[in-house]
Amino acid sequence: MRQRYLWSTLGENGALRAVAFGSYDQVRRRPQAWSQDGDGLMKRVGASYGKSVVSDATKYSVSRVLHQDPAFVRCTCSSVARRLWHGMAGPFEARNESGATVLSPATLAGVVAGQLVAAAAWYPGPNGAGDIGRRVGMSLLLKVGMDLFREFRPVRGAVREASRAPDPSPALEAR
């Protein structure tokens, strides 16, 4: 898990994510107190990167304490409804030491910590509970969207079979 944290945070993925979100904030002119030139863009990218570092560190720390693995694993089910459920539940689940899927607070804790630290340390102006709540909600929606993408993106042959986990949604059978 340490390698996954380092790669997702300090590696190429973390840098690309920070540039993408910083650029998006630049286009949206958020926060407005920062200029629209290169200096403003660098502040936005830096704040996005810092938020990502705090978020990932919190997520992986909580996972470590709970002996869970929060990494996304594709579903073995073939039903579209079950795969949709798996993709939407992904950010809120992890696998415990025995490999069973369990409800996990790790991702939520990471998102909340990242947003709180960013609001307190980097973003100018008032950052009320509503602003932080909106950002947490948008971050979680983005994580759900990314897990849905990972669940349904085409993968060839044996690679797909090797990347699948057991069906996490037996609760759907009761419906």
Q: What percent of the chain has pLDDT over 90?
A: 59
Domain tally, the chain: 1
The 10s digit of each residue's pLDDT in 19-42 is 998 999 999 998 889 999 999 999
pTM of the predicted model as reported, rounded to 2 decimal places? 0.79
pLDDT at 158 over 80: no
Q: Which domain holds residue 92?
A: 2-174
Give the CA distances from residue 4 to residues 14, 60, 94, in Å, rounded to whole numbers and listed in that order: 11, 9, 14
110 neighbors 58 (Cβ within 8 angstroms): yes
Q: In whole angstroms, what is the distance from residue 58 CA to residue 111 CA?
A: 8
The 10s digit of each residue's pLDDT in 62-112 is 999 999 999 999 998 889 999 999 999 999 999 999 999 999 999 999 999
Tokens of 33: 């107190």
